[in-house]
Amino acid sequence: MTITSHAASVRFENVTKAYGAVVAVDRVSFTIEPGQLVTLLGPSGCGKTTTLRLIAGLEMATDGHIFIGENDVTKLPVTDRDVSMVFQSYALFPHMNVNENVGYGLKVSGMKKREAQERSQEALRLVGLSDLGERMPAALSGGQQQRVAVARALVLEPQVLLFDEPLSNLDAKLRRRVREEVREIQQNLGLTTVYVTHDQEEALAVSDRIVVMKNAAIAQEGTPRELYDHPANSFVADFIGDANIVEGTILGGGGETANVRIGCLEMELPCRSASAGPAKIAIRPEAIRLSAGDHGTGMRGTVRKATYLGNHLEYTIETEVGPLFVSDPHVEAPVAPGEIVGVQFEHRGVTLINDPSDDAERASESSPQ
């Protein structure tokens, strides 16, 4: 008896969920390939949990269509969807022991007791809890409860596995380990998995693809690398990793690149369609190089703040384009506050943002920092 996967794709077509006048999910479309782990990432209230609950059928879409595999499940009730969810609170039944919790779904489905027991055992073995079947949930640690919740979801061999902020109740050390385990099980079984989190590091670590949500809509979708290297707007730039959003000017250029002026510096940046004029540029803190002493003709800045963090230094530098947040790995040569330094930008880590609907204020408000 082994747990296998019946992975199916998930497709949203213009799905809207409204509670009266409040729109929680606004015309969202995306596709999740079978066997992939996709993260819904965004600040609280962005609609990511509602999107997850729409997949499970715990919420019903107001408009649009949801497909699991080839089936339109938009109107299918929660009990008839082949989707299992791991809840944020784990939602283990406190009056049942671990075996009964894991076997609940099998018992409900009418499986023979013996077979159900074997399958529950197998699921518990998969999460490394074979010996704890007789325990009550209250007698387990947070990490163990979480594994039981995962086993309870896996045992039904769902087409889609859902995680709602599964690590938020664990302490920081445990989080890294658990997320690696979740990823390992997902990859070994080839499960289609949708994972909700507000933690960008967690999202980057576990995902095949990330859907960044903001204000009930998708801000950007892509692989972790695409989102980090080529954020489509300042919200994504600031939410995934840190970014300095500065004003610059597009001087011209054609095809794949544009010539951009940032303060007194000029750079060639990759760009699809740019017209000359003002533009926003996202600069990663680690893409800024500081040079003490002689700084020639380049951009200069005054060090306002310097913070030592062991493996790197963080600076706030006052420059002609505004204050810049800098992460510098050269801990052996710190620069003292008040000193004047030369400022240069590396190409990788500087992105031209040309999204007309962009507004940086909201992005910085909802950033986790």
| Binding interface with other proteins (CB under 8 A) | 56, 58, 78-79, 83-85, 87-89, 91, 93-95, 104-105, 108-109, 152, 156
Query: Phi/psi of residue 237, each to 5°?
Result: -55, -40
User: Measured between alpha carbons, how far is 13 from 242 in angstroms, rounded to an integer?
Assistant: 32
Q: How far is the CB of 165 from other proteins (least distance, A)?
A: 12
User: Measured between alpha carbons, how far is 236 from 219 in angstroms, rounded to an integer?
Assistant: 7
Q: DSSP 3-state assignment of 117? A: helix
User: Measured between alpha carbons, how far is 115 from 113 in angstroms, rounded to an integer?
Assistant: 6
Scanning the chain, the segments in alpha helix (DSSP H) are 48-56, 98-108, 113-126, 142-154, 172-189, 200-206, 224-229, 234-239, 360-366
Q: How many CA atoms lie within 13 A of 20 on its CB side?
A: 0
Q: How far is the CB of 367 from other proteins (least distance, A)?
A: 29
Nearer to other proteins, 107 or 225 (CB): 107
Q: How far is the CB of 52 from other proteins (least distance, A)?
A: 11
Nearer to other proteins, 156 or 360 (CB): 156
Largest CA distance in the chain: 80
Q: How far is the CB of 167 from other proteins (least distance, A)?
A: 17
Nearer to other proteins, 48 or 284 (CB): 48
Nearer to other proteins, 152 or 209 (CB): 152
Name residue 92's amino acid: L
Nearer to other proteins, 76 or 340 (CB): 76
Nearer to other proteins, 101 or 244 (CB): 101
* Six token digits for residue 58: 């715990």
Q: How far is the CB of 100 from other proteins (least distance, A)?
A: 10
Place of tokens 């079978």: 34
Q: How far is the CB of 213 from other proteins (least distance, A)?
A: 21
